């Protein structure tokens, strides 16, 4: 059974803070994703990694960066958190190519 | 890039009725179309998918149809039950890195 975990379920940060969100998968998946989920806007892709140290920008990369130093771990970094980054953040992984994505439980981030 | 439109945004039915959710896509090269179900407070999970070489796929009460010419695909749920209440997301993936483009979601409410 595929397991995707995220470092926190809930996080409260202050404007200007540097924020790290971590995602770990245990199925040796090549591809990993970070999404942002807001009501009425669906799932919007922030960044995508198709292999270790490889990344591609998604639809809304501004204000975010990512790191993938090991295959199982994909980190999302908010360099300087702002209130408009208050949202639910979902990580996902998949084997590679057109196949099922497995999602983590999500991190609800509030920036005050 | 790909654009996926999903309708309706909200769907309310009585238990036992059928429910249909429709999605249209813009990129004729898209060839994989998954559907995800997200229950309240939980992570999205794949419920069914279809590839472009198939016109219809069924799994018990759930079916998906694909019309490549018209570039639309639909999720059909028969004999709805209260536990079908959730947000449903469609997605389309095309060649290259197979980055998914999601629809904005449909909130399905099944009244007992």
On the question of pLDDT at B50 being above 80, the answer is yes
pLDDT digits (tens, 9 = 90+) for A85-112: 999 999 999 998 888 899 999 999 999 9
B82 φ/ψ angles, rounded to the nearest 5 degrees:
-55, -30
pLDDT digits (tens, 9 = 90+) for B13-41: 999 999 999 999 999 989 999 999 999 99
Name the residue of chain A whose CA is nearest to B107's CA: A40
pLDDT digits (tens, 9 = 90+) for A52-95: 999 999 999 999 999 999 999 999 999 999 999 999 999 999 99
Q: What is the rounded CA–CA span in Å between residue B54 and residue A93?
A: 25
Residues of A in contact with B43 (CB under 8 A): 90, 103-106
pLDDT digits (tens, 9 = 90+) for A27-51: 999 999 999 999 989 999 999 999 9
CA angle B40–B9–B96, rounded 5-degree value: 85
State whether residue A39 sits within 8 Å of chain B by CB: no
Per DSSP, which regions of B32-98 are E strands? 32-38, 45-51, 56-59, 62-67, 72-77, 86-92
Nearest by CB to residue A40, choosing from B34, B42, B104, is B104
Q: Residue B54: its pLDDT value, please? A: 83
Q: Residue B73: its pLDDT value, please? A: 97
Nearest by CB to residue A97, choosing from B43, B98, B104, is B98
Q: How far is A17 from chain B (nearest CA, A)?
A: 27
pLDDT: is B98 or B9 the higher one?
Answer: B9
Mean pLDDT of B55-63: 95
Asked which of A63-67, B3-7, B17-21, B50-54 is least confident by mean pLDDT, the reply is: B50-54
Among residues A38, A30, A19, the alpha carbon closest in space to that of A79 is found at A19
Mean pLDDT of B47-55: 91
pLDDT digits (tens, 9 = 90+) for A7-33: 999 999 999 999 999 999 999 999 999
On the question of pLDDT at A1 being above 80, the answer is no
- Beta carbons of B92 and B100 less than 8 angstroms apart: yes
State whether residue B29 sits within 8 Å of chain A by CB: no
Across-strand partners of B89? B36
Q: Residue B97: its pLDDT value, please? A: 74
Q: Residue B1: its pLDDT value, please? A: 80
Nearest by CB to residue A42, choosing from B43, B89, B93, is B89
| Chain A residues 56-85 with a CB less than 8 Å from chain B | 56, 58
Q: What is the rounded CA–CA span in Å between residue A9 and residue B43?
A: 12
């Amino acid at each position: 059974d595929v397991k995707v975990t995220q470092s926190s379920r809930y996080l409260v940060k202050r404007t200007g803070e540097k924020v790290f969100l971590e995602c770990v998968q245990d199925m040796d998946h090549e591809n990993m994703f970070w999404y942002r989920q807001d009501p009425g806007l669906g799932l919007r892709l922030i960044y995508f990694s198709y292999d270790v140290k490889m990344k591609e920008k998604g639809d809304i990369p501004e204000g975010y960066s990512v790191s993938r130093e090991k295959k199982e771990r994909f980190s999302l970094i908010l360099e300087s958190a702002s209130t408009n980054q208050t949202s639910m953040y979902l990580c996902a992984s998949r084997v590679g190519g057109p196949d099922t994505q497995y999602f983590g439980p999500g991190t609800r981030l509030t920036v005050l | 890039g790909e654009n996926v439109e999903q309708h309706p945004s909200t769907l309310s039915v009585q238990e036992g009725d059928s429910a249909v959710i429709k999605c249209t896509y813009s990129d004729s090269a898209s060839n994989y179309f998954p559907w995800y179900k997200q229950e309240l407070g939980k992570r999205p999970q794949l419920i069914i998918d279809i590839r472009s070489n198939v016109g219809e796929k069924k799994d018990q009460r759930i079916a998906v149809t694909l019309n490549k010419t018209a570039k639309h695909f639909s999720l059909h749920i028969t004999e709805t039950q209260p536990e079908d209440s959730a947000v449903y997301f469609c997605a389309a993936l095309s060649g290259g890195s197979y980055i998914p483009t999601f629809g904005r979601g449909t909130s399905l409410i099944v009244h007992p």
